[in-house]
Structure 1
Amino acid sequence: MIRHIVLIRFRDDVPETRIAEIFADLHSIRDVLPGVLSITSGRSESPEQIERGFQHGFVADFTDWDALAAYQAHPDHRRVGDALIANAVGGLDGILVFDLAVKD
């Protein structure tokens, strides 16, 4: 399984309702793309409070690297990605992506 972790620093002027819309659009990808096991998104609730401005994020689990590649190439992913970039602090600089192969 591949775990795709994305952290976002949204601009201060982006309302939570807009963030919820973007995440809802992201979640709809699971219904149209095979190999997506789950998508979880939201705002950090960490008691450590060391997010360094990355207050929102999501985790998407994929069956394998090929499923992640199909997701990355899919037009729905590109649309969500464009929305994330447009609303993040500094555009792409406000987004952190980490992909991890999860072993049994």
Structure 2
Amino acid sequence: MSVRSTRTSTKNTLYMKFPILFCFLFLFIALSEGKHEVKHMLLAKLKQGISEDEIEGYIKQYANLVNLVPSMKAFAWGKDVSIENLNDGFTHVFESTFASTQGIAEYLSDPDHVAFANTLLPQLDKVLVVDYMPTKVKL
């Protein structure tokens, strides 16, 4: 028997000895595809002349999308507080959390989101959107 046939034989034996284990492993991989948390970051520079009350109203409307759009899991926001002056004019950051990239696709086409976007976007001088999957670093 050659070395090659021994390796193949060993591999086949593992599959034969543990078929349920391999089925569960395959199922786990298949179910976990596309199921990673995704962050949707919107950086904005609001137009001059918008009052703080108006800004607060837009932020409340944005935050309320969590109650209206099923795929949106969380929302947070903040103003730029950096002392590095590398913000490129962006003044506000809005972060939405989704269970998957599919959730973002559902959000983007949701009528409540579309209506809100049509209200907010004309109030912005500048906008940048980035979607990413947070990755933990193991040290």
Scaled by the length of structure 2, the TM-score of the pair is 0.66
Q: Aligned residues, how many?
A: 100
Query: Percent identity of the aligned residues?
Result: 22
In structure 1, stretches of 5+ residues that fail to align are none
Secondary structure of the residue that 2:70 maps to in structure 1?
Answer: coil
Equivalent residues in 2 for 1:53-92, closer than 5 Å: 53-89=89-125
The residue that corresponds to 2:76 in the other structure is 40
CA RMSD of aligned residues (A): 1.4
Deviates more, 1:45-54 or 1:19-28: 45-54
Larger % of helix: which? 2
Please tell me whether residue 17 in structure 1 is matched to residue 53 in structure 2. Answer: yes
**Based on CA coordinates, which of the two structures has the bigger radius of gyration?**
2
Shift of 1:96: 0.5
**Amino acid aligned to 2:96:** A
**Amino acid aligned to 2:132:** L
Scaled by the length of structure 1, the TM-score of the pair is 0.86
Aligned equivalents of 2:67, 2:121: Cα separation in 1:
23
Runs of 4+ in 1 over 6 A off after TM superposition: none
In structure 2, stretches of 5+ residues that fail to align are 1-36
Please tell me whether residue 49 in structure 1 is matched to residue 85 in structure 2. Answer: yes
Shift of 1:83: 2.1
